[in-house]
Structure 1
């Protein structure tokens, strides 16, 4: 029942949004909004990560890893982290933009169903990084808010850091920077006021399968491993939000 309820609420919330219209935030709200968006993207990525064995099970066809299932899991993880219940979002100022990201995440999973459920193929290529990238792209089209993964060792061209992101990544890599501390700055992009927020990310044990050692060896995706060590800076989640 929770899944059905969240489905209806998400659909209703998105009806209030105009596709492609930037969703601006007030200057006093942007830090909290960015923090919630980051948490929601991380929740979705965690759900994909936790179900990698199922996704890559070549012996199974329909795996039940549907957009409804994923939405339910994301809502529960997000609620546990933030105490914000997106199955009952009324009264939350950020509800429209959060529901927009949740819908983007659902769309990514829905479009991947033929790949996820294909038998006879082990590695599907549907990994957390791909999920996050595609969710961010769909989210931008819906809201005008840029949400992406970035890092010095980027693989996908769209994740290449711009000048601002490169500077902040260098700051995050400085041992004097408090580990885990976000960076936010009100600035201008293309002559318009925006709030830029970056959240540092560090290599976890699951990351090392593809990004660990030995450096230069090909991983399961065919890319060269970066030689990361657990706990090292891996990159950041970057947000560019239009401001009123």
Structure 2
């Protein structure tokens, strides 16, 4: 059964790649495509978060947190959120691009196996934010669609907001903006038409371990904490989808 699942995903991704990255968004509305990509990235990140204690367990070697295990979990979580079943061929018009992101997420987990399974080390650095960033980078190389985490208090240079993102983040931070409401706009990037979608994210309890108080104190990664409180705007997921 596992072999059949793996074969199905790989075959679907290969077919999608043959179509060409730019054609992914043409299968459906670009805004909807962006929203589904955000949901899929969140699903993958949630799976990593739910297994963080296992990943960081220094007493265990092989954790069983493989790319195949992760993909099964992500597919189920994504289906519950969106009713799109990525285990079924042609489950949605955006299947090609969604499977490309799923494959990127699998690659990140596969490449992380030596770290994840290392005994004697508690904190591995394989955390949801790193997983999401690396998945977005791989996904961009596959499709030309940008998918990144961004925020005013960014830590990784690649997450630095551009002018558009900075403006939207200010809007999200305004108390008059409905909490949780996405922002989408058709605009130009590099002289080409794109759909830009940003989804606000807010600090939850697990975020505060590294980003909470006291402000300025070093967290487990050695970085200074930002002093966030639960519910504060933490940043956003930003997507740039080429338009037809």
Superposition TM-score tier, normalisation by shorter sequence: over 0.9
Aligned residue number for residue 63 of structure 1: 63
Aligned residue number for residue 214 of structure 2: 214
Native 8 Å contact 1:66 1:113 kept in 2? yes
Aligned residue number for residue 9 of structure 2: 10
Aligned residue number for residue 72 of structure 2: 72
Deviation of 1:18 after TM superposition, in Å, equals: 4.3
Deviation of 1:83 after TM superposition, in Å, equals: 0.8
User: Superposition pairs for residues 93-108 of structure 1, below 5 Å?
Assistant: 93-108=93-108
Structure 1 length-normalised TM: 0.96
- Alignment deviations for residues 12-67 of structure 1 (CA, whole Å, 9 cap, x no partner): 11212149843452496112111110000000000000111100011100000000
CA RMSD of aligned residues (A): 1.5
**3-state SS of paired residue (1:87):** coil
Deviation of 1:91 after TM superposition, in Å, equals: 4.4
Structure 2 residues not aligned, in runs of 5+: none
Distance in 2, matches of 1:133 and 1:18, equals 25
Aligned residue number for residue 185 of structure 1: 185
Distance in 1, matches of 2:41 and 2:28, equals 22
Structure 1 residues not aligned, in runs of 5+: none
**3-state SS of paired residue (2:25):** coil
Q: Between Structure 1 and Structure 2, how many residues are aligned?
A: 243
**3-state SS of paired residue (2:108):** helix
Native 8 Å contact 2:24 2:94 kept in 1? no
Bigger mean CA deviation after superposition, 87-96 or 31-40: 87-96
Structure 2 length-normalised TM: 0.96
